[in-house]
Structure 1
Amino acid sequence: MVSEPIGAVADITFQNHSTLLSGNGNLLEVDGDSTVKFTVDDSTLTGNLVADDTSTLNVTLQNNAQLTGDVINGNNLSINSGAQWQMVGDNAVKTLNLNGGGVNFGADGFHTLSLGELSGSGAFAMNIDLDAGVGDLLEVNGEANGDFTLKVKNTGVEPVSPDIQPLQVVHTEGGDAQFILLGNRVDLGVYSYELEEQGTDWFIVGSGKTISPSTQSVLALFNAAPNIWMSELSTLRSRMGEVRTSGEGGGWIRAYGNRFNATTGAGVDYEQRQSGMSFGADAPVPVSNGQLLIGLLGGYSKSDLDLSRGTSGNVDSYYVGAYGTWLSEEGYYVDGVLKLNTFNNESEVAMSDQTQAKGSYKNTGIGGSVEVGKHIKLADDFFLEPFAQMAAVVIQGDHYTLDNGLEAKNNRTQSVLGKVGTSVGRNIALKDGGVLQPYVRVAVAHEFARSNEVTVNDTRFNNELFGSRAELGAGVAVSLSKRLQVHADFDYMKGNNVEQPWGANVGVRFAF
C-alpha cells in the first residue's frame, strides 16, 4: 500500500506490464490535503484507490490497463484505449471521462456508480434482475455528454413476473449523452428487451420485446427436422431415376443438396442448407402383373441453419429404411417407403451482449410415404406421368437446456404432406442404343399438420409449417446401357412460410 504524507504532491505511474496486488485491500491512500496523479499504463492492479475529503486523486487507466477495486472519493478518472475498471462495490467519482475504455460493475450483487460529470465514449458492463426490479445503476448528478454502450448481462433464465416493470439503469441531470444496449437489446429468457429514454433517464422496458436469439435457435431446430426428413425421402423418380428401363434388381446411389428459407409458426426466420447422400439396393419379386422391387436404403445428410447475427444450428441425420416399388404393365406404379432417422442437433447462440450459448440433443423420427402414378405414352415418344404422394413423419421430442439456462421442450413434431403433380417428358433414342429422357415436373403440396407445440421456459409456441406450396422442376434420365442409368434434376418450391430457392439431385442406378 502507498500512503502519501500530509500536503504531498505526487505523480505515480505503473507501466510495462506491471502487476500489483494489495495486501490489505487498499493500493493507495491519499489524505492530509495531498494531490496525486495516478497512472496505470498497460498494467494490472488489484486494490482500492482511496482519497479523503481534503485531497485530490486523479486516475488515468490507459493502453489495456486493468484495475480491479474501488475508487473512493476520486476527483478525475480517465479510462482510455481499451483499459478496464472492474468495480467491487459502490463508487463515487467527481468526473469520469471514457475514451475507448470501459467500466464493469461488480459481479456480486448490484452496485451504483455515482458521478458528478460523464463525458467521452465507452462502455458500461451491468447486471439487472427484472423480477426483483433491481440492478446496477449509473447515476450522473450533473451533465452527461457523449456516446456510451451498456453491456447488460444476457441470460436464458426467465423472469418469473409476467408483468415486467421498467427498470432504471441510467440517471443524468442533463447533457446530450446517448446510451445504447450492446446488440440493441438485452436477452432475458424467452424474450429480448429494449432500452428506452425517458427524459434524462434510461430504462430497460418490457414493451416492444421480441423473441430472443436463444429462443429462435431452439424453435428453428425443432422446426427443421420435417424438412430434412422429406428432402431425404423425395419422390420415386428423384430417388432412383427411371426404373422402367430394366426389370431387374439393382443398386443405386444419389447425392442431393438444397436450401430452404423458412418461417416458423412463431415468426422465427431461418435459412437451412442441406446436403446428403442416399444409397440402396433392391431385388425383384415375382408377381402376376408387372414387376415388384423390394429394397433397403440408408443415408446421411447434414443441415446448417442460419438465423442471422451469428446464431446458428446444425443437424446430422442418419437414416435407414425399406421400400417396395410395383410397376404394372399398363403403366401404373405404386411406391412405398418406410424410413427411420436419428438426428443429432446442435445449437450455437450469439446473444445480444456478444456472449455465446450452446446446447445439443438427440432424437429419432419415423415415417413413411406412399406414391402412386401412371406413365402415359403419347405420340412421338412423349409421355405424361401424373402422380400423387402422401408422406407422414413423427419426430420424437426432447427436453434440453442451453448452457445459458434456457429450457426447451417439445413432445413431438409431426408432418403430414400431400402432393399431386405431373411430369412431362420425351424418350429420345441415342445412336448407341441408350435412351435420353428429359422432363419437367410441376406439383402442388399441402402440409396438413397444424400444431407442433414447443415450450421455451414456460412460454408455449406453435411451431407449425401448415400451408400449401407449389413446386417446379426439371431433370433428365439417361440409360447408358441396359444396366447403367444416370439421372439428375433441379427443383424450386414456394409456399406459405417456406421457400426452396434451389434443390439439386444427381444419381446412378446399376442393374444386377
Structure 2
Amino acid sequence: MQVPRTLAHSGGDNSVWAADYTGTDTLNTGTYGADYGKITITMDDPGKNCAGIYTYGRYNTTTATERVTVTMSDTGDTYGYNGIFVDGVSTLDAQKGIELTINGLGTNNQSGNDNQAWRNGLRVETQGKVDLGTDTGSVITINSNAAESYANGVYSYGSDAGAGYETSIKGGDLTININKDNAVQQMDYAAGVTLYSGSKMEMTGALNIHAEAVNGVDGIRAGNLNDDGCINSLQAKTLDIYGKATDGSATGIYLMGDKDSVTVSDNTKIEVTGEYDAFGIVIEGSGVKSSFGSTVIDVTSKIQTTDYNDVDGLKLWGADTEYSDLTITARSNGADINGISLVGHNDRGQVAVSGDLQITANGNGTYVKGIEVTALGKLDVAGKTNIDVSNENDGAIMYGVYAQTGSELAFTDDAQITMTTHEGDSNAKMYGVYSRTKADVTFAKGLTVKNGNLGAAVIAEGGKVEVNKDGGNDVKLEGTIEARAIEDSPGSGNLVNGTVKVNFDTAQSYLVGNSYTATDSTTDLKFTNGAYWDLKGNSSVSDLTVGKGSVINMTADSSRYSNLQVDNLTATDGTFVMNAGSVDGGGSYSDKLVIDKTSAAGTNTIKLISTGGMEAAARNQAVLVKGAAADTKFAVSDSVYANGLYEFDLTLADKENNGKYDWFIGSLQKNTVDSVNTMVSANQVAYTAWIDGNGTLRQRLGELQSGADNGVWARMFGGKLGGDEFTNKYKTYQLGYDAQAGDWRVGAAYEYSDGSLNYTSGSGENKIGAVSLYGTLQGKDNSILDIVVKRGRIYGDVDVYGKYSDQGDYSTDATSIGVEYSKRFDSGNNVYFEPQAQLTFGRIDGYDYISNKGVKVAYDDLNSFIGRLGIVAGKAFSRGDVYVKASLLHEFSGNSSVTMLAANGESYSADKDYGDTWLEAGIGGNITLGKNCELYGDVERSFGGDVTKNWGANVGFRYSF
C-alpha cells in the first residue's frame, strides 16, 4: 500500500487555542501535531491516496478533546484513499472517539496500474498510535459501489523492522460497517480489521464488525507479510463479527502469523456466509494462545455442488485457543464441513473449552465432521458436549468425533452425538467416535450416540476410546463398536492395535448394534446394573462382563441366528436372550455364545425366543453355549412361546468338549396355549347353542287348544350355558304363524339368537338366524305328534386375551329335524300327567377360518342325534294350568374333529366327542287372557352334562283366530 503524499494544511493552525476544526480538505497536522476541540472533515471526491486526516512524524501528537468526524464521498471517478491515516511514529488522541464515513458512489476506478480503488477507514503504520478514548464509542462506515475496490475498516501495519516497531490502537467501543445494507454489492473484498507486521489493538469495550463484499470477506485478518516474527494482537471485551461474501469466501477471524493472537474477555459472536468457503476462526501456526470467552460461531456456505469447498467453525493449525462456552453451527448444501478442525504442529495445537461445547453441522456434501483432531492435537472440554451431525447426501461420510495420529481428546462431562440422514434406505456412512493411529479419546462420564443409519458408534483403528471409566453415568450407543489394527505410518508394516473400553453400568445404559474385534485388538464391554445390549448380528468381544439384571439380547436381528464370540467372559446372574427353532441355511438351530478362552464362575439365565421349530431344535440338541468352564452354569428361565399353538418347557444339559462344556437343549415338553383351547371351545359353543334351540312343542306353542283354525305367536327365551372353557349368556326371539290343514296344524317360524361369551382367557359372540317349518297333529285320544324341520346359519367370533392373544370370525350352516310324541292322561280333580318322547337329528356343516395370527382353523361336520324321555305333571284351572316337568336326554352321536395349523408350522388336531347324558327340570304354566289369546312360559335348568344350562326362561304369546 502506498504512503500518501503530504498535503497542504487547510483551515489554519489551532494548536495553541485548541479550537474546533472544520474543513473540506485533508487535515495535515504537520511535524509537531496540534490540539483541537472538535474536528469535522467533509470531503467530496477525494483524490488519489488522499486522507481526511493525516498525521506523520515522531513528534506529532494530534489531540481532539471532542469527537472527530470525517465524511468522505465520491460520485464519479474513484480512487484509493483513507479516512484517517496515522503514520511515521505519530499519535492521534481522539478522546471522544471518531465518526468516520466513506460513501463511495463512484464506479469508475481511476487508480491506474491495475490497482483497485481501496478504502481504509482508519489506517495506522510505522509505529503510529491511536487512542479512541473510552467515553464514547467510535464508528467506521464504508460503502463502495465500485466493482474493482476493497476496504479495510481498520488497517494497521507495524514495520518491516520487526519487534519494537509495533503500531497501537486502543479505545472503548468500536463499530465497523462495510457495505452494510448497501443495495449495490460490487465491492471485491472487505476486511473489518487488518493487522500486519507488529500491530496491537486494545479495545476495552465492544468490537462490532459487519462486512459484506463479493469475492472475499475477513472480519479480522492478521499476519506478518515478511515472516519477521512480529506480534499482532487484538483485545476486546466483546467481539461481534458478521461477514458475507456473495460470490466468494468469507472468514470471521484469520490469523496467519506465528505470534498472532486475539483475546476476548467476555463474549464472541461470529456469523459468516460465503458462496464457496466459509470459516469462523482460522489460525495458522501461532505460538501465542488466543482466548474468546463465551463463543458462538455460525458459518454457512451457499455452494450447491461438491466442488472441494470447505466450511469450518474452527480451523486451527499449530495454534492454542481457549473458550468458556463454545457453540458452533456450520451448514452447506455442497461443501465439506468441520465443526472443529484442529491440526497439531510443533507441540502446539489445543482447543480448551472450560464450559459446554455445542456443535451443529448440517450438510449435503461428501464429508460432515463435528470434530476432527489430528497430528498430536489436543481437545479438552470441561462441560457437557452436544454434537449434532446431519447430511442428506446418500453417499455422505459423517463423523461425530474423528481423531488420529497421536491426538488426545478429553471430554470431562456427559457427551451426546447425534447423526441423521434422509428418511428411507441410505448409503451414508456414519461414525460416532473414530480414533486412529495412536489417538486417545476419553469420555470420563456418559456418552450417547444416536445413529440414524445404525452405522458405527465407536471405532478404534489403532487408537483408543474409553467411555465412563469410573462408572455411574448413562451410556447409550446406537451402532457398531469396532477395534482393529492399522500401520503406525503408511507402508511401515508396524501395526498399532485398537482398544475400546465401555462401561455400561446403569439401568438406562445400552448398546444397540454389533461388536467386531480384530486379532490382538481389545473390546472391553461391561454390562451391569440392568444395562442391556441388543445385538444386530454376529459379534466378537475380547472381554465381556455381564452382571445381575443386565441382558445380552441376541434376538434384535430379525430372528436370524448369530454368534457372539467372546475371548473372556465374566458373567454372574446375567441374562442371555437367544433365538431358537427351525434350522437355517447354515445348519444352525439357534443363536450361540462361543467362549474362546476363559469364563468365570457363575450361574446365568438363557431366555429363548422362537418363531417355530422348537421340537426340531430339541431333537437336534441345539447348542446354545460353547466352550464354557466347568463352573460357568446356564439355565432356561421361562417357557417358550413361538407365537403359535404351543408353549414349550425346556431344560438344558451340558456335555464335556475338550475340557470345556457345551450347553444344549436337553428336553422339551409342550402344552397347548389358551388360544388353542378357546378356539376348540368355540365349536362346542356353536353345537350347544344350536341344540338348545330345539326346544319342545309346549315351549314353542304353549297349551294348544283344539278347534282354533289359525294363529300367530311370538316368544322370547334365553339363559346361561356353561362349560369347562366358556359361559354363554343368550337371548332368542322367535315369531311364527300356523293354520289348520285338515287334521294337521302347519306353520312356519323365524328365530334370531344372540349370545355373549366369556372364555377362560377371552370373549366372543355367537349369533344364529334360522327358519323352521312344523306340523302338529292332535289326536282325539289326547295325543300329540309334532314334527319340526329347521335350517339356519351360525355366526361367531373369538377374542383371546393376554400373552396368547388372537382373534377369529367364523360362520356355518346348520340343520335339524325333530319328532316329538306326547299323550295326556287325566287323573281327576283336573290333575294330569303327560309322558313325552322326542328324537332330534341335527347337523352343523364343517367350516374353517384364519385367525389374525394366521392360524388356520378347520372343524369337520358335526352330526347330532338326541333322544329325550320326559314327563309333565300339572293341574288345570278354568283359565289355564301350571305344571312341573323333567326330562332325561342323551346324545347318541356328537362327534367332531378340529385341526389347526399355525403360521410358524406348528399343528394341532383333536377329536371331540360331545356324546353325553343329562337331566332337565323345570316349571311352567299357561294363562288364557281372552277368547283367542294365551300367555305361556316356563323356567328350567339342567343337571349332569358336560355343558350345563344354569338357567333358562321362556315366555310366549299366542293369538288364535
Q: TM over 0.5: same fold? A: yes
Alignment of 1:378-389 (within 5 A): 378-389=827-838
Match of 2:603 in 1: 145
Mind listing any 5+ residue stretches in structure 2 that lack a counterpart?
Answer: 1-431, 485-497, 517-522, 655-661, 902-906
Q: Return closer, same or farther for 1:442/1:32 CA change in 2, 3 Å cut-off.
A: same
Superposed CA offset, 1:42-87 (max 9, x none): 9986312345664422124634x7753124534211363xx76432
1:2 to 433, 438, 443: 433
After the TM superposition, which residues 104-143 of structure 1 pair with which residues of structure 2 at under 5 Å, given as runs? 105=555, 106-113=557-564, 116-120=569-573, 124=577, 126-129=579-582, 134-137=589-592, 141-143=599-601
The counterpart of 1:47, out of the listed 479, 482, 495, is 479
Q: Determine whether 1:360 maps to 2:821.
A: no
Question: One-letter code of the match for 1:35?
Answer: E
| Counterpart pick for 2:547 among 97, 106, 109 | 97
Equivalent residue letter for 2:714:
W
Q: Using a 3 Å threshold, how does the CA distance of structure 1 residues 37 and 112 change in structure 2: closer, same or farther?
A: same
Which residue does the alignment assign to 2:755?
A: 302
What are the within-5 Å matches in structure 2 for residues 32-431 of structure 1?
A: 32-37=463-468, 46-51=478-483, 54-60=499-505, 62-63=507-508, 67-72=511-516, 73-78=523-528, 80=530, 85-91=533-539, 92=541, 94-97=544-547, 99=549, 103=553, 105=555, 106-113=557-564, 116-120=569-573, 124=577, 126-129=579-582, 134-137=589-592, 141-145=599-603, 148=605, 150=607, 152-154=609-611, 164-169=619-624, 173=629, 174=631, 178-181=635-638, 184-187=639-642, 189-199=644-654, 201=663, 203=665, 205-206=667-668, 208-244=669-705, 247=708, 249-262=711-724, 270-288=725-743, 292-304=745-757, 306=759, 308=760, 310-349=761-800, 354=803, 356-427=805-876, 429=877
CA distance in 2, matches of 1:162, 1:327: 70
The answer to whether the 8 Å contact 1:439/1:475 transfers is yes
Say how many residue pairs are matched: 479
The letter of the residue matching 1:446 is E
Q: Secondary structure at the match of 1:128?
A: coil
SS at match of 1:135: coil
- What is the match of residue 920 of structure 2? 472
Mapped to 2, the partners of 1:356 and 1:321 lie a distance apart of 38
> Structure 1 residues 59, 42: CA separation in 2 closer, same or farther (over 3 Å shift)?
closer
**Deviation at residue 211 of structure 1 after TM alignment:** 3.2
The residue type paired with residue 940 of structure 2 is F
| Residue 893 of structure 2: aligned partner | 448
- Secondary structure of residue in 2 paired with 1:304: strand
Match of 1:11 in 2: 444
Partners of 1:188 and 1:370 in 2: CA distance: 47
Letter in 2 for 1:407: K
Output the CA distance in 1 between the equivalents of 2:756 and 2:651: 39
* Residues 299, 320 of structure 1: 8 Å contact kept: no
Cα gap change, 1:439/1:341 in structure 2, threshold over 3 Å: closer, same or farther? Answer: same
- 1:492 correspondence with 2:492: no
Q: Secondary structure in 2 aligned to 1:129?
A: coil
Q: Are the equivalent residues in 2 in contact too, given 1:76–1:96 (CA < 8 A)?
A: yes
Query: 1:180 corresponds to which letter in structure 2?
Result: S
C-alpha contact 1:28 1:49 (8 A) present in aligned 2: yes
| Alpha-carbon shift at residue 256 of structure 1 (Å) | 0.6
Q: Using the TM superposition, give the Cα deviation of residue 439 of structure 1 relative to its aligned residue in structure 2, in angstroms.
A: 0.9
Q: Are the structure 2 counterparts of residues 142 and 275 from structure 1 closer, same or farther at C-alpha, using a change threshold of 3 Å?
A: farther
- Matched to 1:2, the amino acid is V
Q: Which residue of 1 aligns with 2:303?
A: none
**Residue in 2 aligned with 1:481?**
929
The one-letter code matched in structure 2 to 1:203 is I
- Aligned counterparts of 1:41 and 1:318: Cα–Cα separation in 2: 66
Query: Distance between the aligned counterparts of 1:8 and 1:43, measured in 2?
Result: 15
SS at match of 1:238: helix
| Separation in structure 2 between the aligned mates of residue 455 and residue 139 of structure 1, nearest angstrom | 41
Code of the residue aligned with 1:328 in structure 2: it is G
**Is the CA contact 1:240–1:507 (under 8 Å) kept in the aligned structure 2?**
no
Q: CA deviation at 1:2?
A: 1.8
Structure number with higher strand proportion: 1
Post-superposition offset of 1:281: 1.8
CA distance in 1, matches of 2:707, 2:593: 79
The one-letter amino acid of 1:392's match is: F
1:479 maps to amino acid = I
Q: Which runs of 5+ in 1 are unaligned?
A: 263-269
Whole-Å Cα distance in 2 between the matches of residues 195 and 494 of structure 1? 39
- Give the Cα–Cα distance (whole angstroms) in 2 for the partners of residues 224 and 397 of structure 1: 14
**SS of residue matched to 2:723:** strand
Paired residues of 1:315 and 1:343 also in contact (CA < 8 A): yes
Deviation, structure 1 residue 491: 0.9
Give the AA of the match of 1:453: S
- Preserved contact between residue 336 and residue 371 of structure 1 (Cα < 8 Å): yes
- Does structure 1 retain, via aligned residues, the 8 Å contact 2:839–2:867? yes
TM-score (normalised: structure 1) = 0.79
Partner residue in 2 for 1:265: none
**How many angstroms apart in 2 are the aligned matches of 1:120 and 1:162?**
25
In structure 2, the residue matched to 1:435 is 880
The answer to which structure, 1 or 2, has the higher relative contact order (CA under 8 A, 6+ apart) is: 1
- SS of the residue 1:222 aligns to: helix
Deviation (angstroms), 1:122: 6.1
**Contact 2:527/2:545 (CA < 8 Å) preserved in 1?**
yes
Percent of aligned positions with the same letter in both sequences?
14
| SS of structure 2 residue aligned to 1:448 | coil
- SS of structure 1 residue aligned to 2:446: strand
Aligned equivalents of 2:707, 2:610: Cα separation in 1: 65
How far off is 1:299 after superposition?
1.1
Aligned equivalents of 2:532, 2:704: Cα separation in 1? 70
Following superposition, the deviation at residue 304 of structure 1 comes to: 2.0
Task: Tell me which residue corresponds to 2:367.
Answer: none
CA RMSD of aligned residues (A): 3.8
Which stretch shifts more, 122-131 or 212-221? 122-131
CA offsets per residue over residues 301-338 of structure 1, 9 Å max, x none? 225251x3x35554332222222333333221222222
String of CA shifts for 1:202-226, please: whole Å, max 9, x gaps.
Answer: 62744x3233444434432334322
Quick one: structure 1 residues 33 and 46, their matched pair in 2 at CA, closer, same or farther if it must change by over 3 Å?
A: closer
Query: For the residues of structure 2 that align with 1:12 and 1:510, how far apart are their CA atoms?
Result: 87
Residues 435 and 135 of structure 1: CA distance in aligned 2, closer, same or farther (over 3 Å): same
Give 1:35 shift.
2.6
**Whole-Å Cα distance in 2 between the matches of residues 377 and 219 of structure 1?**
48
Instruction: Describe the shift of the 1:246–1:86 C-alpha distance in structure 2 as closer, same or farther (beyond 3 A).
Output: farther
SS of structure 2 residue aligned to 1:239:
helix
